Amino acid sequence: MIHPILLCGGSGTRLWPLSRKSYPKQFAQLVGEETLFQASAKRLSGEGFAAPMVLTNSDFRFIVTEQLSGVGIDPAAILIEPEGRNTAPPVLAAALWLEKTDPDGVMLIAPSDHVVPDPAAFRAAVMAGLPAAQNGQLVTFGIKPVHPETGYGYLELAEGPGDFSARPLKLTQFIEKPDLARANEMVEAGNFLWNAGIFLFSVKAIIEAFRTHAPGLIAPVQTAVDEGQHDLGFLRLAPEAWAQAQDISIDYAVMEKADNLAVVPYAAGWSDLGGWDAVWRETERDARGVATSGAATAIDCDDVLLRSEDPNLEVVGIGLKNIVAVAMPDAVLIVDASRGQDVKLAVSALKEKSAKQAVAFPKDHRPWGWFESLVVGNRFQVKRIVVHPGAALSLQSHHHRSEHWIVVEGTAEVTVDEKVKLVTENQSVYIPLGAVHRMVNPGKVPMVLIEVQTGSYLGEDDIIRYEDIYARS
């Protein structure tokens, strides 16, 4: 049985403003009707695959469960990383966790933010590499280069991949991200493939590889797993031990040092969506290379991507060439398509000026649903709040603000101090400053309300929690 291990903790700043620290690209519908994370989970399911394990951070844990539920997948485990330590420690953590439940199993390590148009072909490639993995080899997957890419590492094969049929080939070495001239040379040579960062190996083989090539990681990661705390269906890795683990990639820690390597060539389409130029390539385009999404209109344009993420915000391009324009309710990006890798510079610049758009969305996702600010004034704020069926906000109070709730869709069960009552559509309830209150959606459909806050301070940190079903402090 193959155990899919989905890595789901990155921030994806090169796809700002759609991808931000608070809600990165793997959870967005960038290509198709499903999010990248959902598509990854579905791609690694079916015959021969066990339920997936997910490694993510605390902020994303409920997004992960919600999105998996949306595609009918029940995870085997969700491990919560206390802090980001690159890819080697989480891979080792997954292996040590599986060692307790299926020590003879095989692991498939896969980032959750890739686009693979042909899931069946990818699963066939995985099965082609399975015998090698079962025999103790560390298998990676090499993508057929379709252009000289400088944003990827490369894999050098001992021989050319021939017709790119799926079979294990000998891997000579890993190549760092090259400059354009070197990338052209490698593509022309024919025996270099893109490194997709996808790996297949047995639990025993990868643990032994860590013991041989990165022994310093074993003790802290083992302790983090053994002393992890089970919390609402998640395993929180022990933070003190986890902090002692080196921040290092699986490539540097193990793969580049090992001699039991194999690579399965793959030519059926793949992208890590590492920039808006990649999104443009993966989006359906017209004869002039124009790709639009949402409320977007192109007039006399060539090789452009116009994208609006707000149905009330129309993006219009006239006479543009090689331009990417992405509009969000709170931010707009306009960039030359050749400078897609520099979008991360915009994020850095916004952080320097303390602009909230650098990391946060206007829509704030929570375990119970989401909210967005509609109007913000000096001493007041208006929010739209959506609560999932059966979900509940924490029992809480505020020092600096009172609140007025107006239900516009569904039904809310509202607690204010000792009183509990149902509030239905077009009804309202007042929450005085200091009152202990809670809101629950007891119904079968999402509940939507408008919240009007008034007071001297309206920050999200003005909250005292008394009870919370999601174990937040």
Q: Compute the chain's Rg from CA coordinates.
A: 24
- Low pLDDT (below 50) residues in the chain: none
Q: Are 168 and 129 in contact (CB under 8 A)?
A: yes
Say what the pLDDT of residue 40 is: 95
Q: Which residues contact 91 (CB under 8 A, 6 or more apart)?
A: 5, 7, 107, 109, 199, 206, 250
Domains of the chain, CATH where assigned: 2-266 (3.90.550.10), 284-352 (no CATH), 363-467 (2.60.120.10)
Q: Percent of the chain having pLDDT more than 70?
A: 100
Q: Report the C-alpha gap between 6 and 304 in whole angstroms.
A: 32
Per DSSP, 363 falls in state E
Coil, strand or helix at 285: coil
Phi, psi dihedrals of residue 164, rounded to the nearest 5°: 65, 25
Say what the pLDDT of residue 473 is: 66
Q: Report the C-alpha gap between 296 and 320 in whole angstroms.
A: 13
Element at 276 (helix H, strand E):
helix 276-282
Q: Report the C-alpha gap between 167 and 61 in whole angstroms.
A: 36
Say what the pLDDT of residue 274 is: 86
Say what the pLDDT of residue 428 is: 96
Q: Report the C-alpha gap between 383 and 396 in whole angstroms.
A: 18
Find the length of the chain: 473
Q: Report the C-alpha gap between 55 and 74 in whole angstroms.
A: 14
DSSP output for 82-118: SS---SHHHHHHHHHHHHHH-TT-EEEEEESS-B-S-
Q: Report the C-alpha gap between 332 and 309 in whole angstroms.
A: 10
- Residue type at position 366: R
Say what the pLDDT of residue 452 is: 97
Instruction: Of 238, 12, 191, 23, give the one whose Cα is nearest residue 111.
Output: 12
Please name the residue that has the structure tokens 């989006």: 283
Per DSSP, 23 falls in state B
Ordered strands of the 290-293 beta sheet:
290-293, 304-308, 323-327, 332-336
Say what the pLDDT of residue 222 is: 97
| pTM, to two decimals | 0.88
- Please write the tens of the pLDDT for every residue from 423-436: 999 999 999 999 99
Say what the pLDDT of residue 158 is: 87
- Residue type at position 155: L
Say what the pLDDT of residue 460 is: 87
